[in-house]
Structures are given as C-alpha cells and as structure tokens.
C-alpha cells in the first residue's frame, strides 16, 4: 500500500490527492510519501477519541520535502496522521509506517466492515 500524494502540472503537490490542484492544474505524477522521512511541524494528543480509536491518540502534522523547483525553491507537502508513540516533539524526524488497523472495527454501533481502516502512522526515526 502506498501513501500517495499527487504532483500537478503547476508543480504543486497535494496529500491526499485531488482531481485538480487549487489552481485547476491536472495531475501529472504520484509520489509515495512512505518512501520519505518528514519533520513534525506540530502535534497534539486527543483524549476524546471516536469509538475504536486508541485513547489517548497522538496526532502530528508532518512536512515532507519532495524536491526543488526549477528556481531552487523547495517543494513540500504536509500530512496529518497518528503517531506510533506519545514521545514526540516539534522538529522530530519521522517516517510513515503501514498499519493494518487504525481503529478497532468492532467498537461502536456501525457495521464492523465499514470501520475496517488501514493506513499509515508516523514513527520517529
């Protein structure tokens, strides 16, 4: 499974991807963020989580540097997600790690099949 971001004709990058960029540009390339490390921009710990989500649930906004534009400016994209540990600080370097279950599907009142979510968490490097 990939953690897929999209690069658009105008050079912008979006995660998650969309059919068009903010400026209306078409997608031209996918980028697998799971192949990159990122920097924690900010983080928080939620203690009031939805059914089936671990409690407490530490989340981080992570910035991934993808490369440079033709004029030397860095290209980056941000993603938000769960962190594998509560021991996280702004500025920490993290990498995405795949997990089969982001929440307990049998918790709550919905059909378990509708709550079966896999994806990525961020782990300190």
- Helix, strand, coil shares of the chain as percentages rounded to 5? 5, 45, 50
C-alpha dihedral, 33 to 34 to 39 to 44, nearest 10°: 100
- The model's pLDDT over 71-120, given as tens digits with 9 standing for 90+, comes to 777 899 999 999 999 999 999 999 999 999 887 777 777 777 777 778 99
The size of the chain, in residues, is 125
Could you tell me the CA-to-CA distances from 63 to 39, 60, 91 in Å, in that order?
5, 10, 10
Q: How confident is the model at residue 9 (pLDDT cuts 50, 70, 90)?
A: very high
- pLDDT single digits (tens) 113-122: 777 778 999 9
Per-residue pLDDT at 40 exceeds 90 = yes
Distances (CA, A) of 114 to 29, 105, 108, 117: 30, 8, 11, 8
More confident residue, 37 or 117: 37
Query: Residue ranges of the domains in the chain?
Result: 37-124
> Which of 67, 47, 63 lies closest to 55, judged by CA?
47
């Amino acid at each position: 499974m990939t953690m897929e971001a999209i690069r658009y004709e105008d050079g912008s990058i979006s995660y998650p991807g969309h059919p068009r960029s903010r400026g209306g540009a078409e997608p031209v390339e996918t980028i697998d963020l799971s192949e990159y490390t990122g920097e924690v921009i900010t983080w928080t710990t939620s203690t009031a989580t939805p059914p089936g989500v671990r409690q407490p649930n530490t989340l981080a906004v992570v910035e991934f540097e993808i490369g440079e534009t033709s004029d030397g400016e860095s290209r980056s994209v941000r993603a938000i997600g769960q962190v594998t540990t509560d021991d996280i600080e702004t500025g920490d370097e993290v990498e995405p790690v795949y997990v089969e279950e982001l929440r307990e599907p049998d918790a709550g009142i919905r059909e378990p099949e509708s709550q079966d979510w896999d994806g990525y968490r961020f782990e300190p490097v």
